[in-house]
Amino acid sequence: MRYVAPASVAEVVALLAGDPDARVFAGATDLVPQMRAGRPEPSVAIDLKRISRLTDVSLTDGTWRIGAAAPTADLTANAALAADLPGLVYAGGLIGSDQIQNRASLGGNLCNASPAADSVPSLVVNDAQAVVAGSGGERTVPVIDIPTGPGRTSLQPGEFVVEFLIDRPPPSTSDAYLRLIPRTEMDIAIVGAAARVSLDGDGNCSAAAIALAAVAPTVVLVPAAAEALIGHPADDDALAAVAAAAAEAASPIDDKRGTIAYRRQVAGVLAKRAVLEAAGRAGNGGGR
């Protein structure tokens, strides 16, 4: 296996086009354990962390640009990003230990395509767009369309994610992410739930998005839960409807981490709590 650390997106595209067995990595926090578990080594391991566009985090003309290889430690240390997108930043800070977070990235968390990935539901509810580069140029894809199943993505051979684009939320809008894990830290979610809520001047919900992790092969958006909120405050009746819709939308499996019935119940509880947390932040003006 050959290691290379290119300095530009164009160099990465050329390397991938010239060798179908080459593979990019952002932090190698998934790649190395996978190889140790017996997966074939790539012919060329392409380190993305030397490319500034893939590691920068900036706010330009009302849009956050988050490099796909930016360490999650950089996200949690960015006060402006955390003010605008507290749920996403919190989710990024749940990926592994403090040491891992100096290598782990949102791009790696997405493209590893685990159904339980912590940052993906938050990217989805915030309508994040992924900029994808390949031999045909660059294209922009909704994050929700990238994972297609456990360990599988919609990326074509030779393509990789460069950065994420997220519009800065309007006033009285905020997000939240919650998960349930078997241990107190550094574990895989049994269920994860992200919510984004906008409130009008009367405190009623004017827009919402709720997404679940670890209850299906990919992240599940729950439009019925959002519809139950629109036009209402986040009161007991609306939250009960959110919980019921989330539990109904979940289609988990039985395994040693939890039963189908348990995961469905937890999905409802976490969705309700995530909405309540997001609404509370939105009621305080969100990040503005």
DSSP codes of every residue in 228-279: HHBTS-S-HHHHHHHHHHHHHH-----BTTB-HHHHHHHHHHHHHHHHHHHH
Domain end call among 106, 132, 167: 167
Domain annotation covers residue 32: yes
Q: Give 163-221 pLDDT, tens digit per residue.
A: 999 999 999 999 999 999 988 777 889 999 999 999 999 999 999 999 999 999 999 99
Q: CATH number of the domain that 67 lies in? A: 3.30.465.10
Q: How far are the Cα atoms of 59, 86, 127, 129 from residue 168, in angstroms, in the given order?
A: 8, 12, 11, 13
Domain end call among 167, 192, 209: 167
Lowest-confidence segment of 58-72, 249-263, 267-281 by average pLDDT:
249-263
Domain end call among 167, 188, 206: 167
Q: Give 176-188 pLDDT, tens digit per residue.
A: 999 999 887 778 8
Same-domain status, 147 and 211: no
Give the type of residue at 66.
I
Q: How far are the Cα atoms of 4, 128, 136, 228 from residue 141, in angstroms, in the given order?
A: 27, 9, 14, 28
Rounded mean pLDDT of the chain? 95
User: pLDDT confidence of 288, banded at 50, 70, 90?
Assistant: low
Same-domain status, 157 and 267: no
Same-domain status, 18 and 87: yes
- Total tally of structural domains belonging to the chain: 2
Domain annotation covers residue 25: yes
Same-domain status, 158 and 253: no
Domain annotation covers residue 288: no
Lowest-confidence segment of 20-34, 67-81, 130-144, 247-261 by average pLDDT:
20-34
Q: How far are the Cα atoms of 57, 75, 132, 240 from residue 171, in angstroms, in the given order?
A: 21, 21, 30, 26
Q: How far are the Cα atoms of 56, 84, 128, 129 from residue 63, in angstroms, in the given order?
A: 13, 11, 10, 11
User: pLDDT confidence of 99, banded at 50, 70, 90?
Assistant: confident
Same-domain status, 133 and 196: no
User: Whole-angstrom Cα distance, residue 158 to residue 135?
Assistant: 7
Same-domain status, 141 and 230: no
The parent domain of residue 116 ranges over 2-167
pTM recorded for the entire structure? 0.94
